[in-house]
Homo-oligomer: A and B are copies of this chain.
Amino acid sequence: MISSREDVTRMILATKVSKGLRWEVVAAELGLSKEWTTAACLGQMTFNKEQAETIGRLFELSDEAIAWLQIVPHKGDGGIPTDPLLYRLYEIVSVYGGAMKELIHEEFGDGIMSAIDFSLDIQREENPNGDRVNMVMSGKFLPYKSY
């Protein structure tokens, strides 16, 4: 009996390691970005039927698990991360968040950058002083309006 999406995520991770799969390959099978695909495999996004079946085939999942991949999951990891890579992302918000807020408001007025109508792209940026991680976030600006 599978009673949560987390159960399926654990199956995916176990199979990924034992079969040595790469996220890029999984994404190519789906014909989608590696960013959305990985987030979805980690239980943060919802697959449609065809996508779920592809994932099921790659990770050798049962029909029950494939059904769960099509259910909207409970998303988000709470709290402040302790993993160093994740903490650096949190720290960027902690140190630069005020500036991001000021500059988005200066440019657009009152509102937010959507985290739903949003896409992410991560690339290696070659650099003679040491390669860099380049992350591009694009989110629709949503204005507050008076009524």
Contact = CB atoms under 8 A, between A and B. Distances in A.
Copies in the complex: 10
A94 B112 contact: no
B77 A84 contact: no
A145 B84 CA distance: 14
Interface string A99-135: 1111111111111111111111010110101111111
Nearest to A24: B106
Contact of A23 (B3, B36, B102, B117): B102
A67 B133 contact: no
A77 B96 contact: no
A33 B146 CA distance: 8
A138 B132 contact: yes
Contacts of A86: 93, 97, 100-101
B116 A112 contact: yes
A96 B18 contact: no
Contact of A45 (B89, B104, B110, B118): B110
B95 A115 contact: yes
A63 to B, nearest CB: 8
A83 to B, nearest CB: 5
Given A13-B4, A91-B87, A110-B45, A116 B100 contact: no
Interface of A: 1-4, 10-11, 13-14, 17-18, 20, 22-24, 32-36, 38-40, 42, 44-46, 48, 51, 64, 67-68, 71-72, 74-120, 122, 124-125, 127, 129-147
